[in-house]
Structure 1
Amino acid sequence: MKPLTFLPSLFTLLFILVSLHLSPSWAASDSVYDTFLQCLSRRSQPSDHISDIIYSPANSSFANVLTSYLRNRRFNSSSTPKPLVIVTPKQESHVQAAILCSKDLGVHLKIRSGGHDYEGMSYVSVDAFFILDMFNLRSIDVDIQKETAWVQAGATLGELYYGIWKKSKVHGFPAGVCTVLGIGGHLSGGGYGNMLRKYGLSADNVLDAKIVDVQGRILDRKAMGEDLFWAILGGGGASFGVILAYQIKLVPVPEKVTVFRVERTLDQNATDLVYKWQSVAPSTDSGLFMRLSLLPTSSQTQKGQLTIGASLVALYLGNSDQLLAITDKEFPEIGLRKENCTEISWIESVLWWIGFDNGTFPAPETLLSRDYPAIFFKRKSDYVQTPIAKANLEWLWKKMIEVEKVGLSLNPYGGRMSEIPASATPFPHRAGNLFKIQYFIDWKEEDPEAGKKYLAQISRLYSYMTPFVSKNPRSAFLNYRDLDIGATTNGNNSYEEGRVYGVKYFNDNFERLVKVKTAVDPNNFFRNEQSIPTLPK
């Protein structure tokens, strides 16, 4: 099945057809709003001021609320279906009421916690739908004595990192380097960052959770049971309910960490660097994380020609002397020197990774910003289990230059990731994987034909990589959602459709996820284009 983003006219047609099946009282959005508002009011306290948290298309703030957490402009065209209502709960009971009212009215509920959402599945649907936007539920309660924190689903990683820093300068949390990611989606999809080789995934450091199930009940780990708790640690929360909050385990970080960046092009022996990186990065000291980005770039020696630029960006949980002792022995190809290293606090390293790498760091309060530019983009993912030979790398460089705009971001595994069993959480990509690839392409043109051209480019490079990546299945990372690898219409064939992408995201864990889904949401209320299906009846 082609990605839904190729089909704006089909989206619109299906949306109209679905609307025709609604009762006459639903013909106007005002009527939908009124009906939903009445239901929410009945299920809430009079003091809740429900009208303040619900928006219809007629509301002047509707467009701003809809687009505030819309990061991919591919899903913000005039033909993109819009929700009938947006609900922005301010307390847990509002979430309960929204679920029950959506069930009462028979309208699809989409759940959004404010992250990337590469394919727009939290705010686009072929059905008539509501959005439950969690951005107001963002409280963070850090307990340094217990080295834990409760963080609500609508908080961002930046807000969490700041909350930890306010209480301790020697604690952190292993999660993403993009600080505007929403906690709910990030953790329920597994979540990873530049400390995963030391401490594993974000989901590996979750102690408890609160979720609202299809019956409107608020359940913690004990009440939901270990099967459901397991499922929402990497299986995607939106298939099972609405995540309210996670209790996380904080991890120790040194008072000073070290960061560095090394850049090479092909005429500066980038091929040797990339080849050696494949064996060193997944096997070196677990406190060292070295991300490698590869991108076609203008050649400095041959004007008008493209070459490949390799950028190695790293975090080491220690000082520069300790780091150099490792790199001098294991990775001399990068030529790292003490003057290339920067020793900073962990919270400063968070700022460094989001672009403040010029030696001047803003106040940590910068992490509280939710501003993030919406762009046109596409992402895909792969896993590499065997080092790619130099000859094949050189062939790949030619293909990347031929394609022109697609880049690769290589994230090493090993360390703690190799110690955790594949079945410990739904995220199966542990031992056996050297590194994960993220394919990326961004563009500015609003012309749909230009978008198709760029989507074709990333698909071409993905196809070229087939011989070098995991097979049977060709695995993918859930939080890099990719509708190219399969989608479901959530109809009679949902299990067969879901299995196509499900085994790529979850490998052998897919069937257990299906059993959990069937037990907790047998009528498939919580669904999207790549949700976990129920067992066929």
Structure 2
Amino acid sequence: MKIRSGGNDYEGLSYVSMVPYIVVDMFDFRLVDVNIEEETTWVGAGATLGKVYYAIANKSGIHAYPAGVCPTVGAGGYITGGGYGNLIRKYGLTMDNLVDATIVDVNGMVPDRATMGEELFWALRGGGEEGLYKMMVEFQTPQLTFDPYGGLMDKINSNGTPIPNREGNLFKLQYVTNWDESENQRSKYYIDLTRKLHAYMTPFVSNNPREAFLNYRDID
């Protein structure tokens, strides 16, 4: 089963599979309810980012939504992937601004954040394996983003362009840490956290796709 919100995806995962599949299209879930007083917005999984921006702009000339520049991206897939955009230096990723969610689980129940538990809420913001999850909860501040490679990236000779890291690489990893303390009083602390996260991930990173997959699978 493939779930599609906007249909925009680097790897087209809503459209391809090695086995027969069905698509659950979230297109009609397009509600965007803006509450300027509370500075919150409920966004349906099928609403595009352009629709979100338009709804906010109709309510306020000074509020913004920290998301991407492509207006046709569906909010459901975008938010659950983390949400990378041009405002991350000031406001963080989209998932950093996610305060609540309502889903339908496999039992047909409709839990919100209060009843779904923090682990599921973590997963909704792009989370995965337990060991990394525990570390991210402990560290709190550092962020880890996976940008998928593959496809045409694998087919272009690594010596043919100025970007050599191509064939066999599954992801580009981005380590991001932001802090607000005045005069960077705790800069060493946050930099050390980022280095610890990088060191933790290092054994699971490889130029061999099969080896990388096996390492990923065996994470505690």
TM-score by length of 2: 0.67
Which of 437, 456, 471 is matched with 2:155 structurally? 456
Aligned-pair identity in percent equals 47
Amino acid at match of 1:235: G
Q: 1:158 aligned to 2:25? A: no
Q: In the superposition, relative to structure 1, how do residues 426 and 113 fare at CA in structure 2: closer, same or farther (>3 Å)? A: farther
Which residue in 2 is equivalent to 1:178? 70
Judged with a 3 Å threshold, the aligned counterparts in structure 2 of structure 1 residues 427 and 189 are, in CA distance, closer, same or farther, namely farther
User: Which residue does the alignment assign to 1:428?
Assistant: 144
| Normalised TM-score (structure 1) | 0.29
Q: Secondary structure at the match of 2:121?
A: helix
Cα drift, residue 474 of structure 1: 3.7
Q: Alignment partner of 2:34: what SS?
A: strand
For 2:157 and 2:147, locate their aligned partners in 1 and report how far apart those are by CA, in whole Å.
13
Deviations along 1:432-469, one digit per CA (max 9) or x if unpaired, are xxxx98879xxxxxxxxxx97x74216662159x9xx8
Secondary structure of 1:227's aligned partner: helix
- Quote the offset at 1:473 in angstroms: 4.0
In 2: Cα distance, 1:458 partner to 1:472 partner: 26
CA distance in 1, matches of 2:147, 2:104: 34
Greater C-alpha Rg:
1
Given that 2:49 and 2:70 are in contact with CA atoms closer than 8 Å, whether structure 1 keeps it comes out as yes
Work out whether residues 113 and 133 of structure 1, in 8 Å CA contact, stay in contact via their aligned partners in 2.
yes
Give structure 2 stretches of 5+ with no counterpart.
Answer: 129-135, 174-201
1:144-175 CA-to-partner distances (Å, cap 9, x unmatched) read: 01000000010111110111100001000111
Q: Residue by residue, what CA displacement relative to the aligned partner does 1:121-160 show, whole Å, maximum 9, x if unpaired?
A: 2222222211101111111000001000000010111110
Query: Once the two structures are superposed, what CA deviation does each residue of 1:59-118 show, in whole Å capped at 9, x if it has no partner?
Result: xxxxxxxxxxxxxxxxxxxxxxxxxxxxxxxxxxxxxxxxxxxxxxxxxx1111114222
The structure showing larger relative contact order (alpha-carbon pairs under 8 Å, at least 6 residues apart) is: 1
Aligned to 1:210, the other structure's residue is in SS state coil
Cα deviation, 1:489-531, whole Å, max 9, x if unaligned, reads xxxxxxx95753x79xxxxxx75xxxxxxxxxxxxxxxxxxxx
Letter in 1 for 2:54: Y
Match runs of 1:221-240 below 5 Å: 221-235=113-127
Which letter does structure 1 place at the counterpart of 2:98?
Answer: V
Q: CA deviation at 1:177?
A: 1.2
SS at 1:161's partner residue?
Answer: helix
Superposition deviation, residue 217 in structure 1: 1.1
Contact persistence 1:422–1:428 (CA under 8 A): no
The 8 Å contact of residues 5 and 76 in structure 2, kept in 1 or not, is answered as yes
- Provide closer, same or farther for how the CA distance between residues 140 and 235 of structure 1 changes in structure 2, counting only shifts above 3 A: same
CA contact (8 A) 1:231 1:425 kept: no
Give distance in 1, aligned partners of 2:7 and 2:214. 23
How far 1:195 sits from its partner (Å)? 0.6
SS at match of 2:96: helix
- Residue 204 of structure 1 is matched in structure 2 by 96
Q: How many residues align?
A: 178
> What's 1:216 paired with?
108
Task: Tell me if structure 2 keeps the 8 A contact 1:234–1:425.
Answer: no
Q: 1:426 to 1:212 in 2, by over 3 A?
A: farther
Q: Which has the higher strand share?
A: 1
Gap change, CA 1:144 and 1:223, over 3 Å in 2:
same
For residues 247-276 of structure 1, give each alpha carbon's deviation from its aligned partner in whole angstroms, at most 9, with x where no partner exists. xxxxxxxxxxxxxxxxxxxxxxxxxxxxxx
Poorly superposed stretches of 4+, deviation over 4 Å = 420-423, 436-440, 496-499
Rounded to whole Å, the distance in 2 between the matches of 1:128 and 1:437 is 27
Counting only pairs closer than 5 Å after superposition, residues 326-365 of structure 1 correspond to structure 2 as none
AA in 1 matched with 2:165: Y
AA of the residue aligned to 2:9: D
